[in-house]
């Protein structure tokens, strides 16, 4: 509706911008086209955060200039390639050496379905560019949620084989539920989702895959609900045979009854659905001196300046085990202090190779510590799984798909008690 109104205005008002000296169709006061709260099918995804000049390409696009108080002060029509850079507190569009009015927020809405390119990467929907507080530019993709999901699925669950297709549908419903749960939470903020593992990896059109897109279309509007709200459908690669309980993995987050963890098998003593994963069981060994080097960086990175510099690692121990076989926390005692790390954050501190390297695969482990002369000389872990383990186990979901379970059955296995329902057409 809003878009139609915008286009009509475009057709009737033609003007020339004084500073650009380029003939453009000019829109004096276009409608504010932020997604309204009721338009729950549109998400705002942060796709780029940069201090560099960026290039934007759209076949033909409506450009709206918005002020910080959300009033639209200008609107015009541009075609082809343009560059956008910071200009003091504003953004500046240049095209073939000509400049257009400066504004803190720009909304570039392509007229056709082809979307736009930003720094050579293709996206569906519209683009909002906004000044950040650190002389940066935030690029936010305003996109229909199902188009967003097409750019998410292959990055999040891979390129599934024949016979695993149902897992694409499962991932589509889980990712849709997760994204919708964010809309409410992020209302009033600049964007709903980041395009990284912090939320869900999203690569736009370049990240799409036909079979995954088909699953998104077939499952259009279907979500998992708890008490009528889209669930926080967390998922991770491999649960190691037992999914994590949010209360011990992420004790700082709100408790959600469908995230209390359970065996990842059809029967309590059956074979785990994810047991073929290469991450199902793993081991790791640190020499004491190597672990000290890692902790000297990773402990302050996690706990901040209250970590005093230290020479020796005197002890390291597990503070408790959860029902799923994950550690509830780890206590680290140095010659200059003692610190407790809780829940899933343990993975950020006990990094396997180096303080800058990957985090530990999971908190599902048993620890064996050798001490000598008042210090730790080696630590061995026997572990299972890869990822936080809360919610859906993706390897298990793929296996369940192979075994013929339906998407609804798979979702109800990982998020017990939820309702699967189509909430929009």
- Give residues in contact with Zn ion (CB under 5 A): 239, 264, 274, 393, 396
274 vs 407, beta carbon nearer Zn ion: 274
192 vs 264, beta carbon nearer Zn ion: 264
40 vs 412, beta carbon nearer Zn ion: 412
Shortest Cβ 239–Zn ion spacing (Å):
3
Strands (E) in 111-208, as ranges, are 116-118, 121-123, 126-131, 137-144, 193-194
46 vs 157, beta carbon nearer Zn ion: 157
Please name the residues in contact with 14: beta carbons below 8 A apart, sequence gap of 6 or more.
23, 25, 26
168 vs 202, beta carbon nearer Zn ion: 168
Residues in the chain: 425
Q: What is the DSSP letter of 390?
A: B
92 vs 281, beta carbon nearer Zn ion: 281
Helix, strand, coil percent values for the chain (each to nearest 5) = 25, 35, 40
Shortest Cβ 214–Zn ion spacing (Å):
26
Shortest Cβ 248–Zn ion spacing (Å):
17
Q: Can you tell me the distance from the alpha carbon of 99 to that of 96, in angstroms, rounded to the nearest whole number?
A: 8
| Best CA proximity match to 349, nearest among 339, 359, 357 | 359
Q: What is the DSSP letter of 120?
A: T
* CA separation, residue 61 to residues 9, 10, 131, 361, 405 (Å): 13, 10, 20, 45, 45
Shortest Cβ 243–Zn ion spacing (Å):
7
Please name the residues in contact with 123: beta carbons below 8 A apart, sequence gap of 6 or more.
47, 115, 116, 117, 141, 143, 151, 204, 205
Q: Can you tell me the distance from the alpha carbon of 310 to that of 376, in angstroms, rounded to the nearest whole number?
A: 13
Shortest Cβ 324–Zn ion spacing (Å):
10
Shortest Cβ 137–Zn ion spacing (Å):
40
109 vs 279, beta carbon nearer Zn ion: 279
Shortest Cβ 264–Zn ion spacing (Å):
3
Mark residue 238 as left, alpha or beta (left: phi above 0; alpha: psi -120 to 50; beta: remaining): beta
Q: Are 165 and 70 in contact (CB under 8 A)?
A: no
275 vs 298, beta carbon nearer Zn ion: 275
> What six digits make up the tokens of 69?
């108080």
Q: Can you tell me the distance from the alpha carbon of 85 to that of 236, in angstroms, rounded to the nearest whole number?
A: 37
Give the position of tokens 């390297």: 357
Q: Can you tell me the distance from the alpha carbon of 271 to that of 262, in angstroms, rounded to the nearest whole number?
A: 13
156 vs 264, beta carbon nearer Zn ion: 264
Shortest Cβ 274–Zn ion spacing (Å):
3
* One-character DSSP codes across 217-250: HHTTTEEEEETTEE----EESB-TTBPBPHHHHS
Would you call 283 helix, strand, or coil by DSSP?
Answer: strand
Shortest Cβ 278–Zn ion spacing (Å):
13
Shortest Cβ 414–Zn ion spacing (Å):
9
62 vs 237, beta carbon nearer Zn ion: 237
């Amino acid at each position: 509706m809003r878009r139609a109104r915008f286009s009509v205005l475009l057709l009737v008002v033609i003007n020339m911008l004084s500073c650009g000296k380029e003939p453009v169709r000019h829109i004096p006061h276009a409608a504010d086209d932020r997604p309204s709260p009721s338009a729950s099918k549109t998400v705002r995804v942060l796709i780029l955060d940069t201090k560099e000049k960026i290039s934007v390409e759209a076949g033909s696009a409506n450009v709206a200039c918005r002020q910080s108080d959300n009033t639209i002060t200008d609107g015009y029509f541009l075609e082809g390639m343009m560059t956008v850079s910071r200009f003091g507190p504003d953004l500046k569009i240049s095209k073939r050496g000509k400049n257009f009015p400066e504004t803190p927020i720009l909304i570039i809405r392509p007229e056709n379905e082809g979307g736009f390119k930003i720094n050579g990467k293709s996206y569906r929907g519209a683009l909002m560019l906004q000044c950040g507080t650190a002389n940066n530019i935030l690029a936010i993709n305003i996109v229909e949620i199902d188009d967003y999901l097409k750019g998410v699925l292959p990055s999040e669950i891979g390129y599934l084989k024949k016979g695993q297709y149902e897992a694409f549908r499962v991932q589509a419903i889980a990712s849709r539920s997760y994204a919708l749960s964010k809309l409410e939470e992020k209302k009033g903020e600049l964007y709903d989702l980041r395009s990284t593992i912090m939320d869900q990896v999203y690569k736009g059109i370049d990240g799409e895959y036909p079979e995954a897109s088909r699953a998104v279309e077939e499952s259009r509007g279907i979500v998992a609900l708890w008490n009528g709200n889209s669930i926080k459908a967390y998922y991770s690669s491999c649960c190691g045979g037992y999914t994590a309980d949010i209360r011990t993995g992420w004790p700082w987050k709100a408790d959600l009854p469908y995230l209390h963890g359970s065996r990842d098998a059809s029967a309590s003593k059956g074979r785990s659905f994810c047991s073929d994963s290469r991450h199902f069981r793993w081991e790791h060994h640190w020499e004491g001196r190597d672990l000290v080097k890692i902790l000297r960086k990773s402990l302050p990175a996690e706990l901040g300046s209250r970590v005093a510099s230290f020479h020796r690692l005197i002890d390291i121990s597990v503070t408790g085990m959860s029902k799923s076989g994950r550690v509830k926390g780890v206590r680290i005692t140095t010659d200059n202090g003692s610190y407790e790390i809780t829940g899933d954050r343990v993975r950020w501190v006990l990094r396997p190779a180096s303080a800058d390297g990957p985090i530990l695969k999971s908190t599902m482990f048993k620890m064996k510590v050798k001490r000598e002369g008042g210090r730790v000389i080696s630590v061995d872990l026997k572990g299972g799984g890869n990822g936080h383990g809360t919610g859906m186990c993706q390897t298990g979901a793929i296996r369940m798909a192979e075994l013929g379970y339906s998407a609804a059955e798979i979702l109800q296995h990982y998020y017990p008690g939820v309702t699967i329902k189509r909430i929009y057409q």
